[in-house]
Amino acid sequence: MVITDAPDVEVVGEAATGGEAVRLAGDLRPDVVVMDIRMPGMDGIEATRLIAAGSAPSRVIVLTTFDDDDHVYAALRAGAAGFLVKDMALDDILAAIRVVAAGDALIAPGVTRRLISEFAARPAPAPAPRPIAGITGREREVLTLVGRGRSNAEIAADLGISVATVKAYVSRLLAKLDARDRVHLVIIAYETGLAPAP
């Protein structure tokens, strides 16, 4: 009723089940589908997945009372362009429909704050390995293991080569990378993403 009263929004269909929502979305091809999570038969997450994967997909906003992280992630993975909670102001819900219809995405502010806090609390990912000019593939393997704190004997066992050969590789790495000592090699391995931070 609220959406129908908006002068710039037209309701083209209503569905009582997830399966019916998928069928109507395919038949009517609305710009936006406002989807609940809990429905008889097929739930809103699966219905969202099917609508988003359709040949002429509508953009889906999940509007629900269930704002826990599992539902948020599941809806976004399914292809939802918006995630709103039913206690939002009606004007905000209408504004979100307009935003999503225009091609943008929107998540309820309270949910966004929680997701940002959770993201900020996660440890930073290790840097992606970067190429090191002038060293061979085997030297890179040795440098990786040196960076992980392995001894020459352990590296030899890991790579199936002799300890003398490992020492030769380490000497070449020291020269090629202009490293002062083995500790400097560990730092280089970390800075290039070959080894985790000590």
What are the 10-residue block averages of pLDDT along the chain, 198 residues in total? 87 94 94 92 93 87 83 88 89 91 87 76 65 89 90 94 95 91 86 74
Instruction: Considering the chain, tell me which residue range(s) the CATH 3.40.50.2300 domain(s) occupy.
Output: 2-121
pTM over 0.95: no
Closest-CA residue to 48 (of 7, 76, 88) = 76
* pLDDT at residue number 125: 60
Residue 124: predicted pLDDT? 64
Assign residue 155 a region (left: φ > 0; alpha: ψ between -120 and 50; beta: otherwise): alpha
Query: Residue 145 has what pLDDT?
Result: 93
- Please report the pLDDT score of residue 157 as a whole number: 95
Strands of the sheet with 106-107, listed across from one edge: 32-35, 59-64, 82-85, 106-107
* Predicted local distance difference test score (pLDDT) of residue 133: 85
How many residues make up the chain in this entry?
A: 198
CATH architecture of 137-191: Orthogonal Bundle (1.10)
Predicted local distance difference test score (pLDDT) of residue 126: 58
| Parts of the chain belonging to CATH 1.10.10.10 | 137-191
* CATH 3.40.50.11890 is the classification of domain 2-121: no
Provide the pLDDT for residue 187: 83
pLDDT at residue 197, rounded to an integer = 57
Residues 6+ apart with CB under 8 A from 9: 3, 94, 97, 98
